[in-house]
């Protein structure tokens, strides 16, 4: 496994872990409150849709010329990675509320109890909420699997890394029967943001015709530099917040 393959697997695994934790909270809430079988049917249906998206778009992307693919994938990863990193930095600096799985679980449970219940074994509400939750959280992962995997022609490796993360979170979640509130979601999002931004920078520049000093080894410099910039920005924003210069209200999660 090359360094780029390892980076791919780590980035996809971490991104998928974060999204799986968020999806698990929703599934646990409707499953425990209303119907496990309907909620798990929703999970299965959403997984099939996500797998179909990856299976359909993966070969189409890998058939593009390598420079076109690298510019497109690099650009998309950069835009996407900067979104993740921006939010993670704002959260780490205290300017944006942290995602609270326990609070989300309580809200979803309350909404599930309040929703009307139809007669019969199948509960449409549980199915729809679990389907929507898994599909929406999974789309980000599918996007990362496709872009990372297609660019390195390793969609299968990316899919395996994603599957391993889902299996781990599902096992731990089902054993705990509670939202995984202690998973350091923002730290994981911070790491994923740095990985996506670094790989996006590397591939975007290569696709546009630039040559990196040291070739692929340049990634070993780009990733720590991005991490250092992000951490320095957090420190600067924290200082601005404590000095009262960071604006007013905290942004919602």
Q: Using CA atoms, how far apart are residues 200 and 82, in angstroms rounded to an integer? A: 10
19/123 with CB nearer another protein: 19
41/233 with CB nearer another protein: 233
Stretch that binds another protein, among 35-43, 88-96, 112-120, 161-169 (CB under 8 A): 88-96
How far apart are CB 90 and another protein at their closest, in Å? 6
Interacting positions 208-237 with another protein (CB under 8 A): 208-213, 218, 222, 225-226, 229-230, 233, 237
Query: Residues 26, 30, 31, 35: is their CA dihedral positive or negative?
Result: negative
Interacting positions 110-129 with another protein (CB under 8 A): none
61 sits near another protein (criterion: CB under 8 A): no
Q: Using CA atoms, how far apart are residues 209 and 236, in angstroms rounded to an integer? A: 34
The total of other beta-carbon atoms located within 10 Å of residue 99's CB is 18
Q: Using CA atoms, how far apart are residues 128 and 131, in angstroms rounded to an integer? A: 5
| Nearest Cα to Cα of residue 91 among 233, 201, 218 | 233
Q: Using CA atoms, how far apart are residues 36 and 132, in angstroms rounded to an integer? A: 16
36/143 with CB nearer another protein: 143
Q: Using CA atoms, how far apart are residues 73 and 91, in angstroms rounded to an integer? A: 27
Interacting positions 130-149 with another protein (CB under 8 A): 139-140, 143
Positions that interact with another protein (CB under 8 A): 71, 74-76, 78-80, 82-83, 85-87, 89-90, 93, 95, 139-140, 143, 197, 201, 204-205, 207-213, 218, 222, 225-226, 229-230, 233, 237, 240-241, 246-248, 251
């Amino acid at each position: 496994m090359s360094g780029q393959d390892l980076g791919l697997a780590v980035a996809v695994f971490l991104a998928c872990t974060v999204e799986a934790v968020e999806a698990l909270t929703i599934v646990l809430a409707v499953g425990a409150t209303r119907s496990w079988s309907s909620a798990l049917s929703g999970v299965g249906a959403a997984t099939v849709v996500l797998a179909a998206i990856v299976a359909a778009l993966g070969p189409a992307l890998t058939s593009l010329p390598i420079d076109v693919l690298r510019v497109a994938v690099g650009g998309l990863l950069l835009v996407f990675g900067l979104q993740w990193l921006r939010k993670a930095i704002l959260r780490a600096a205290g300017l944006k509320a942290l995602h609270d799985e326990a609070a989300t679980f309580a809200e979803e449970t309350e909404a599930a109890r309040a929703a009307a219940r139809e007669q019969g074994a199948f509960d449409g509400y549980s199915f729809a909420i679990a389907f929507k939750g898994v599909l929406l959280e999974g789309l980000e992962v599918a996007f990362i699997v496709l872009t990372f995997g297609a660019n390195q022609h390793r969609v299968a490796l990316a899919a395996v890394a994603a599957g391993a993360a889902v299996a781990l979170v599902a096992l731990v979640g089902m054993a705990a029967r509670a939202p995984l509130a202690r998973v350091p979601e923002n730290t994981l999002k911070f790491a994923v943001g740095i990985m996506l931004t670094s790989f996006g920078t590397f591939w975007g520049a290569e696709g546009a015709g630039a040559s990196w000093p040291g070739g692929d080894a340049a990634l070993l410099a780009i990733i720590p530099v991005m991490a250092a910039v992000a951490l320095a920005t957090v420190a600067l924003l924290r200082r601005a917040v404590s000095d009262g210069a960071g604006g007013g209200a905290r942004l919602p999660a």
